[in-house]
Structure 1
């Protein structure tokens, strides 16, 4: 029985295997991994470093000029005075002396200096704590204690209708005198204090 097996290649009929190509450095092993991603990362790092250096060394423009006085608000536009309530008079004060607290606030602009506080009635003298001049910065508020003393009951009203305080204000824009009407609570408190002070007709 004849059997046909796999055909054996004849001598000289086998194709030669390709020789491995030499790689960098003379090695005949496997070729190294591609280096393109590493080169791209290095290029990005150098680009960022260069951009940061250029940003840090860029020429700076001159600082903004400070506002000129004509661009600043008038002090009366940014100051508000509100009535807080009665305050205990100084120790040892006479029965004709009483005190109140008011709150002075500055909304914006440069700091404001209060140079004077007064009231319209001739029969009353007035002092403040702190004493003028005192300053208040923008965004801040200051409590002022106003102490009044009745010097002549015949010249003060029995019922103060719309009492006000005259406050002289100064900032780098201007000096202004502003009248602040402190509202009905202040009017009632002042009227009551005057009635008590003059109840025995002593001034």
Structure 2
């Protein structure tokens, strides 16, 4: 039998031309889902890009931020402490085997400086400072001190001193320093006279048995 007409389905029903078949429905759903996934992906990319941009801005802000100023610790104690010998100032009568020498200490700048100890550079010679340590000298002030030299052993002591050295331990709010002070002028002469008086030029024994 030949002819042109609509194709009848089961039961004699004629399918509508606008009704999609089953494979077409799955294809349509997949396109909708893919579009939704594409939109989510674009949104995720936008969020990630915005987050990276925010991190970059914060990092740039930290990099361009002016660093906070570091507090000035002040000068080193040895830079502002001055010690000079007072040759013309009368000193107390020393005990046997010792000699007393006068000095003046001043601090020119910074925080107060504390003298923690004084040590002669010669082996066999000891020193005691007065007033006793620790002795603090404030900025812009001057202190008169005495250093009592004590001969423990004459052997090896240079009786004729050229440029004697005193090792002084200083402390302020910045640091503790050991500073060597070299004295000229009348101190080498007076120290040499003291050593000659105690030890005598030919002595090689202790002060108690010259």
1:175 aligns with 2:176: yes
Map 1:74-153 → 2, pairs under 5 A: 74-85=76-87, 87-90=91-94, 93-94=95-96, 96-153=97-154
TM-score, length of structure 1 as denominator length: 0.61
DSSP-derived class of the 1:155 partner: coil
Question: Which protein is richer in helix relative to its size?
Answer: 2
Structure 2, unmatched stretches of 5+, are 1-69
Q: Deviations over 1:36-75 (max 9, x none)?
A: xxxxxxxxxxxxxxxxxxxxxxxxxxxxxxx8353x1111
1:153–1:198 contact (8 Å) kept in structure 2: yes
Equivalent-residue separation in structure 2 for 1:186 and 1:80 (angstroms):
15
1:186 aligned counterpart, secondary structure: helix
1:13-24 map, 5 Å: none
* In structure 2, distance between residues paired with 1:108 and 1:154: 41
Q: Using a 3 Å threshold, how does the CA distance of structure 1 residues 115 and 69 change in structure 2: closer, same or farther?
A: farther
Larger Rg: 2
Q: How many aligned positions are there?
A: 133
Secondary structure at the residue paired with 2:196?
Answer: helix
Give a deviation string over 1:62-114, Cα, whole Å, max 9, x none: xxxxx8353x1111110000000262334xx11x2111000110001110111
